[in-house]
Structure 1
Amino acid sequence: MKLFELLDSPVQLIMYDLDGTLVDSVPDLAIALDKMLTDLNLPVAGDEKARLWVGNGIPSLVQRALADDMMGDQPGIVDEETFTRALERFKHHYAIEVGQHSSLYPGVFTFLSQIHKAGIKQAVVTNKSEIFTESLLKHMGIEHFFELSIGGDSLNEKKPHPMPLQHTMKHFDCTRDNTLMIGDSRNDVKAARAAEVKVVGLPYGYNHGEPIESAYPDTVVSDLTELL
């Protein structure tokens, strides 16, 4: 499906998730997680587990790694003292690793370039911490395509709450009728549905081991350039 077929009105704003949508960032995250776990004398987790745990922000990622379980971020599973120390160690290591082993997914740079040339506004709406979002965008050489980036700690709520999407639309004075969300996870789809925005799903990202089709986005494309 082409971009112009998705909305009844011309697209004026596209909002993107970051990790698993634009950038394969798990290699950085997994290395930082394993260094954190080593600091705490815990077994390393590795890339495969990290891919399952990504998607709800750094605090959830750290808690899941500490518990070695997808449900590790639920209340009462990880004690606060251990979590606080682990979070500090993760941030220390990730600040060094961010962008060092990541890569853009195929078609991403071409798509962002063409959308930019078309004069369509672009924004990143991610659950990643704001400071690491900006750093990763710069390392990937795509920060200039976005007029706004919203991190998981930028507002009082994060995805799947609609607030980040609603805030972004308000910033650009756009409506649900001319705005599109693109993401790789059920959080992106839930946020888009709550904000009443059409959403495109990508199958190659981090959706906790589930196919993106199970979240029922409006359409799924294997490469962003399919929308051009």
Structure 2
Amino acid sequence: MLPVRAEPLPTSVSPLRAPLQAAIVDLDGTMVDTLGDFSAALDRMLADLALPAVPAAAVADMVGKGSEHLIRSVLARVQADPGLYDTAWASYQRHYPDVNGRHSQVYPGVVDGLQALKARGLALACLTNKPTGFARALLRDKGLDGYFSHVFGGDAFPRKKPDPLPLLRTCEALGSAPGRTLMLGDSSNDAQAARAAGCPVVLVSYGYNHGQPVRAVDADGWVDSLAEAAAVLL
């Protein structure tokens, strides 16, 4: 289910220092609400291990740092033996393709926002900590794959966000300067990576952000949808 806020906060974006050449867009929590997919795969994994299920609300706070971190966090939550990690990883990898996209939905404004960014001539890449294969399959399932010239997952580079390396490599692939490449995300992972890479960063006000208020994150602005981001930035 999409998160509901009783009263939306105003859009707030600082003027960017240079005209944009490209944009890098996060996936989970930014373009697609995938909490249902995560919960379904984790429930199957935990059942395989004869362990109790974890509430979706708790899973939301663990999302964003890659599958490895998610699985370790879930095992810790149910007080399982850390030695079960390899078995849990294999189970999760087996189940996730079966649920990928089945319990998720595209956030409002995403398609309009991507269309507007493309119409202004920006090169677009999707950069996520989700494994690349899962990310590509989800984008296809939701009809979003055609907007991106590149899709990079958490297994595409030696390090994941919040390390700046994935953003710097993605800028290289796009042929854009970091200072003219916008990072659009939903969490401190995206913001920290962007700051370290020298990219401007705007965060959506929904999403996961590890259970912390997103407007407390150091960013150049916050918007309530990708459509709003395109409107105020271009």
Question: Per the alignment, in what secondary structure is the counterpart of residue 188 of structure 1?
Answer: helix
TM-score normalised by L of structure 2: 0.89
For structure 2, the 5+ residue unaligned runs are: 1-10
Alignment-derived partner of residue 121 in structure 1: 123
Count residues with an aligned counterpart. Answer: 220
For normalisation by structure 1, the TM-score amounts to 0.91
Between the aligned partners of 2:12 and 2:39, the Cα distance in structure 1 is: 35
Q: Residue 75 of structure 2 aligns to a residue in which SS? A: helix
In the alignment, the residues of structure 2 paired with residue 86 and residue 191 of structure 1 have an alpha-carbon distance, to the nearest angstrom, of 28
The match for 2:108 among 106, 109, 131 is 106
Alignment of 1:79 onto 2:82: yes
Distance between the aligned counterparts of 1:151 and 1:223, measured in 2?
Answer: 22
Contact 1:31 1:46 in 2 (8 A): no
What is residue 91 of structure 2 aligned with on the other side?
89
Q: Secondary structure at the match of 1:156?
A: coil
Gaps of 5+ in 1: none
Aligned to 1:56: 65
2: CA distance between counterparts of 1:57 and 1:167?
18
Alignment deviations for residues 79-135 of structure 1 (CA, whole Å, 9 cap, x no partner): 34x101101111111110001111111100111112122221010111111110111
Could you tell me which amino acid in structure 2 is paired with residue 203 of structure 1? S
Distance in structure 2 (CA, Å) of the matches to 1:17 and 1:6: 21
Kept in 1, the 8 Å contact 2:37–2:101? The answer is yes
The reply on whether 1:36 has 2:45 as its aligned counterpart is yes
Whether the 8 Å CA contact 2:12–2:223 is kept in 1: the answer is no
- Identify the match of residue 10 of structure 1 among 15, 19, 22: 19
Contact conserved, 1:53 with 1:61, CA < 8 A, in 2? Answer: yes
Whole-Å Cα distance in 1 between the matches of residues 201 and 61 of structure 2?
Answer: 22
* Moved beyond 3 Å, runs of 4+: none
Partner of 1:173: 175
SS at match of 1:67: helix
Whether the aligned pair in 1 keeps the contact of 2:171 and 2:177 (CA below 8 Å) is: yes
Query: Is contact 1:98–1:136 with CA below 8 Å preserved after alignment?
Result: yes
The 3 A distance-change label for structure 1 pair 84 and 179 is same
Indicate if the aligned counterparts of 2:20 and 2:180 stay in contact, CA closer than 8 A: yes
C-alpha distance in 2 between matches for 1:43 and 1:78? 13
Q: Deviations over 1:158-215 (max 9, x none)?
A: 1011011100111122112321001111110100010011100112101111011121
Structure 1 residues 113 and 54, CA gap change in structure 2 (3 angstroms): same
Whether the 8 Å CA contact 2:65–2:129 is kept in 1: the answer is yes
Do the aligned partners of 1:204 and 1:222 also contact (CA within 8 Å) in 2?
Answer: yes
Instruction: Name the CA distance, whole Å, in 2 between partners of 1:167 and 1:104.
Output: 26
**Aligned residues: CA RMSD:** 1.7
Provide the rounded CA distance (Å) in 2 between the counterparts of 1:124 and 1:95.
19
Shift of 1:46: 2.4
Q: Which letter maps to 2:95? A: H
Q: What residue is the counterpart of 1:162 in the other structure?
A: 164
User: Who is 2:191 aligned against?
Assistant: 189
